[in-house]
Amino acid sequence: MLNKAKAIEKQIVDWRRDFHMHPELGFTESRTSAKVAEVCEGLGYRVRRGVGRTGVVADFGNGKPVVAIRADMDALPILETNSVPYISQNPGVMHACGHDSHTAMALGAASLLVKEEFPGMVRFLFQPSEEIGDDEGISGAPRMIEDGAMEGVDFVIAQHVDAVAATGTIGIESGPTSGGVDSWFGKVIGHGGHGAKPEAAIDPFVITAHVIFALNSIVSRRINPFDPAVVSIGSVNGGFTQNVIPDHVDITGTLRYADFNVQKKIHEEITRAFEISKTLGGDYELKIEIGDPPLINDHNVSKLIHAVGVDLLGSENIRPIEKTLGAEDFGRFLEHAPGAMFTLGVRIDSDPRQIHNPRFDLNENALPIGTAVLAESALRFLRSKT
């Protein structure tokens, strides 16, 4: 399969560069999805457009089992600073997380699988808006699921580029590999007054200082040190001039976790931190928005992908995943079928890059590798009896 992927390497690279030159933000991927649908229809796939607003579902084959391959399509609001022929033609928007390559490699895998014989069906999920939510805070994965993208799916796999890992390697292991994420929005309420008469006011800044200290003590003092967790403050806003004590201070942040019991504990402790407002004579408002769950790779699916990696690349090129509490909405798909995401090493040795950076780029020699691992993993699921 790796040799077959290398035979179409130029096409995969051309797709990736085309997507890179024409990046689109979440839920606006009209050009990208149209091209994806056109390619899949040309290969003989049954295509559904507009799934989860701007997503594409492409099926090939019939019956069981059904193996899904997911690729995200959206870009980021970043002004690219690279000097390459395929630089973004959409100023202020850039594929800085590798989703252009995810989409291109999925199209490569789709091209390879139509030439194979297998029982069952392969389904490609070209997902919009992994990076952001819509007006309701909902990202592309749950929107696609609402539109039936996971109906009948037995296994689901995906990959994500890793700009730090060596090209020619993949990372795969079972269990949690990225964190669940929730957002919280608080308001510390005091009583405004003149800056020269603080005794006549209830200063929300003083209260907020105590709340911040309590928030920053949650992970170190209220969570088991063996449980991954993060509580971070993202913004503090209050007041409008130098000599007036305001009525309130707004404070927002994020929380990350790998275990649902830890999530519940953090919610309780954030509430407890804001309760300090009442002790100090003020009040508070707090809203916690539930985000994406942790990405937890299934053991058996991970084992199969690991075996594919060993066969295609050699055991020395299979590594553990560097775990992070960064969020990834692929976990939404894993709520509906067992699956796993592997990471693909794409490091440029001469000039390493970082994702979500204006200079992000990748070693395109990795593209046939990711394509081959996706296609071979899907094929082995389809041909297996369990």
Which residues are CB-neighbours of 309 under 8 A, at least 6 positions away?
170, 172, 317, 318, 342, 373
Angle at 225 between CA 222 and CA 231, to 5 degrees: 55
> Cα-atom radius of gyration of the chain, to the nearest Å?
24
Q: How many domains does the structure of the chain reveal?
A: 2
Among residues 290, 323, 338, which one ends one of the domains? 290
Q: Are 22 and 143 found together in one domain?
A: yes
* Predicted local confidence at residue 86, as pLDDT: 98
By the 8 A CB rule, do 317 and 169 touch?
A: yes
Q: Are 74 and 154 found together in one domain?
A: yes
Q: Which residues pair with 185 in a beta bridge?
A: 252, 287
Answer left, alpha or beta for residue 92, where phi above 0 means left and psi between -120 and 50 means alpha: left
**Can you tell me which residue has the tokens 């669940």?**
180
Q: Are 108 and 164 found together in one domain?
A: yes
Residue 112 pLDDT > 80, yes or no?
Answer: yes
Q: Are 262 and 144 found together in one domain?
A: no
What is the DSSP secondary structure assignment for residue 292, as one 8-state letter?
Answer: P
Q: Are strands 66-72 and 155-162 parallel, antiparallel or unpaired?
A: parallel
pTM: 0.93
Cα 34 to Cα 304: distance, rounded to the nearest angstrom: 33
Q: Are strands 170-171 and 318-319 parallel, antiparallel or unpaired?
A: parallel
Residue 177 pLDDT > 90, yes or no?
Answer: yes
* Mean pLDDT within 229-251: 97
By the 8 A CB rule, do 166 and 345 touch?
A: yes
**Residue 386 pLDDT class (50, 70, 90 cuts):** low
Among residues 258, 290, 322, which one ends one of the domains? 290
Q: Are 160 and 307 found together in one domain?
A: yes
Q: Are 112 and 123 found together in one domain?
A: yes
Q: Are 247 and 282 found together in one domain?
A: yes
pLDDT tens digits, 184-215: 999 999 999 999 999 999 999 999 999 999 99
218 three-state secondary structure: helix
* Predicted local confidence at residue 145, as pLDDT: 98
Angle at 177 between CA 172 and CA 182, to 5 degrees: 155
* Predicted local confidence at residue 316, as pLDDT: 98
pLDDT tens digits, 75-104: 999 999 999 999 999 999 999 999 999 999
Residue 352: asked if its preceding bond is cis (omega within 30°), the reply is no
Residue 385 pLDDT > 90, yes or no?
Answer: no
Q: Are 9 and 109 found together in one domain?
A: yes
Q: Are 119 and 130 found together in one domain?
A: yes
Cα 279 to Cα 274: distance, rounded to the nearest angstrom: 10
Tokens (6 digits) for 377: 């993993």
Q: Are 16 and 124 found together in one domain?
A: yes
Q: Which residues pair with 125 in a beta bridge?
A: 57, 70
- Residue 20: CATH number of its domain: 3.40.630.10
* Mean pLDDT within 133-157: 96
Q: Which residues pair with 161 in a beta bridge?
A: 344
* Predicted local confidence at residue 326, as pLDDT: 87
One-letter amino acid identity for 4?
K
Cα 260 to Cα 276: distance, rounded to the nearest angstrom: 25
**Residue 323 pLDDT class (50, 70, 90 cuts):** confident
Which residues are CB-neighbours of 78 under 8 A, at least 6 positions away?
92, 93, 94, 96, 356, 357, 358
Q: Are 171 and 283 found together in one domain?
A: no
pLDDT tens digits, 335-359: 999 999 999 999 999 999 999 999 9
Among residues 290, 320, 350, which one ends one of the domains? 290
Cα 197 to Cα 303: distance, rounded to the nearest angstrom: 67
* Predicted local confidence at residue 78, as pLDDT: 98
* Predicted local confidence at residue 199, as pLDDT: 97
Q: Are 189 and 282 found together in one domain?
A: yes
By the 8 A CB rule, do 15 and 104 touch?
A: yes
Residue 232 is part of which domain span?
A: 180-290
Tokens (6 digits) for 323: 């775990």
Residue 327 pLDDT > 90, yes or no?
Answer: no
**Can you tell me which residue has the tokens 């019991």?**
261
